[in-house]
Amino acid sequence: ERFLMAYRRSRPPGSGRRVIVSRGRVYAPSQFVLGCVVGFILSFVVMVAVLTYFLPAIAKGTMPPMAPTSANTAIPGISGEAKTNDMAKNSEPEVIAYPKNPVPFSSKTLKKVSKKTRIVKQGECFETDVDYYGNDVEGGKDAKTPEECQEQCVSATKCNYFTFEVKRNMCWLKNTKIGRRPGKDLISGPRNCSEVMEIRELYDEYESVTQAQQKVKEAFQYAWNAYEGSCFGQDELRPISRGCINEFGMGLTLVDALDTMKLMNLNREFTKAKNWVKTSLKFDIHKDVSVFETIIRILGGLLSAHALSGDQVFVDKALALAKQMKPAFNGKLPASKVNLKTGRTSSHTWAPNVHIIAEIGSLQIEFWYLSKVTGDPWWGEYGESIIKALETTKTQKPGLYPTQIQSSFTFTQNHISFGALGDSLYEYLLKMWILKGKKSESMYRRMYLQSIQSMMSHLLTKSKEGLWYIAESRGTALDHKMDHLTCFAPGMLALGYHHKVSPDEEVNKKHLEAAENVLETCVQMYMRWPISPEMVRFTPYMTMGTATNFQRPETVESLFVLWQVTKDDKWRKYAWTIFQKFESHLRVPGGYASLNHVGDTNSKSDKMESFLLAETHKYLYLIFDDNPAITIDNYVFNTEAHPVPVPST
Residues tagged active-site: 293, 423, 534, 554
Where helices occur in 392-504 by DSSP H, the ranges are 423-435, 443-458, 489-498
Q: 639 among the known binding-site residues? A: yes
Distances (CA, A) of 465 to 198, 476, 542, 543, 600: 11, 24, 8, 12, 26
CA–CA separation, 374 and 366 (whole Å) = 12
CA–CA separation, 150 and 161 (whole Å) = 8
Are 606 and 241 a contacting pair, CB within 8 Å? yes
Where helices occur in 499-599 by DSSP H, the ranges are 505-527, 554-566, 569-585
Helix count and strand count (H, E) for the chain = 23, 27
The helix (run of H) or strand (run of E) holding residue 543 is strand 542-546
Q: What is the DSSP track for 391-420?
A: HTS--SSTT---SEE-TTS-BS--EE-SST
Distances (CA, A) of 285 to 288, 325, 383: 9, 11, 25
Distances (CA, A) of 458 to 110, 283, 455, 462: 43, 44, 5, 12
Q: Nearest CA to 129 among 74, 165, 169, 77?
A: 77
Q: How many CB atoms lie within 10 A of CB 70?
A: 6
Q: How many CB atoms lie within 10 A of CB 80?
A: 10
Label residue 556 left, alpha or beta by phi (over 0 means left) and psi (-120 to 50 means alpha). Answer: alpha
Positions at the binding site: 639
Positions at the binding site for Ca(2+): 639
